[in-house]
Amino acid sequence: NYATKPFEITKKFQNLPGVFYILSGSAGICFSTENMKSLSGGVIGRGDWMGALSIHADYNLFAVAEEVEPITMVLFPASKVLELAERKCMVYKWLLHCGTKAQSIWMQAYLSSIHKKEQKTIYVLLELAARQTNIAGATVSINISQIQLSSITGISRPRLNEVLKGIEQQGLVKIQRGKVFITDVKGLYEHISPMNLMIRDPVAEIKA
């Protein structure tokens, strides 16, 4: 479990050796300045593809992975994928599909970064909720610490704490140590509905 060891999982996968499909779990991939004082990231998880757009590239990712729920992945090795692509051109169509899905994560994460702290926080919480198995009628529970949420949103801990207390007072969430319970999905969505969600709408994913 790399949930408390972000640099271990980052080091393990910084040279993407192929295309990954995430079967279960979720994480925040956080990009930062060299001194780690500024962070901003997006959420990946169940059903996402990673690595398709870098299969021809040779570079190291400078990012921190904050694993929220233990991730299980399937790896399609780059060498095998490229070898198969030489014989079957439809492989490139598959790579385009994977790359388009991955790009939507980072485009929407970028769009969310230009909004207010409260909206950014709610967006990340709903993205995490969308990538886990939720029982119909049950309160959605996300196992995440404020340190992890701070890294993913790029919001400092004191400011994040203010945001969480604010939305808790509105009856939208309940905060426990290492957990966030979403008590009003519709209410949270009303807060982010003015956001530019043209690439990805997390509430649509939750309902699906």
Q: What are phi and psi of 165, to 5 degrees?
A: -65, -40
Spatial contact of 65 and 20, defined as CB atoms under 8 Å apart: no
Which string of DSSP letters, residue by residue, matches 127-172?
HHHHTS---TTSPEEE---HHHHHHHHT--HHHHHHHHHHHHHTTS
Q: Are residues 196 and 128 in the same domain?
A: yes
Is the pLDDT assigned to residue 3 strictly greater than 50?
Answer: no
Q: What are phi and psi of 107, to 5 degrees?
A: -65, -45
pLDDT digits (tens, 9 = 90+) for 114-136: 888 999 999 999 999 988 877 67
Structure tokens that stand for 26 in this block: 């979720």
Q: Taking all residues of the chain, what is their mean pLDDT, rounded to a whole number? A: 83
Q: What is the pLDDT of residue 163?
A: 95
Mean pLDDT of 89-105: 93
**The domain that contains 74 carries what CATH number?**
2.60.120.10
Q: Are residues 144 and 101 in the same domain?
A: no
**Does residue 64 or residue 181 have the better pLDDT?**
181
The CA distance from 46 to 96, in Å, is 19
pLDDT digits (tens, 9 = 90+) for 20-30: 999 999 998 87
Q: Are residues 106 and 124 in the same domain?
A: no
pLDDT digits (tens, 9 = 90+) for 62-78: 677 888 999 999 999 99
Q: What is the pLDDT of residue 2?
A: 37
Instruction: Please tell me what DSSP assigns to residue 22.
Output: E
**The domain that contains 162 carries what CATH number?**
1.10.10.10
Is the pLDDT assigned to residue 83 strictly greater than 50?
Answer: yes
Whose CA is closest to 14, among 71, 58, 49, 80?
58
Q: What is the pLDDT of residue 187?
A: 92
* Residue 1 belongs to some domain of the structure: no
Q: Is the pTM of this model over 0.85?
A: no
Q: Are residues 163 and 89 in the same domain?
A: no
Instruction: Please tell me what DSSP assigns to residue 55.
Output: T
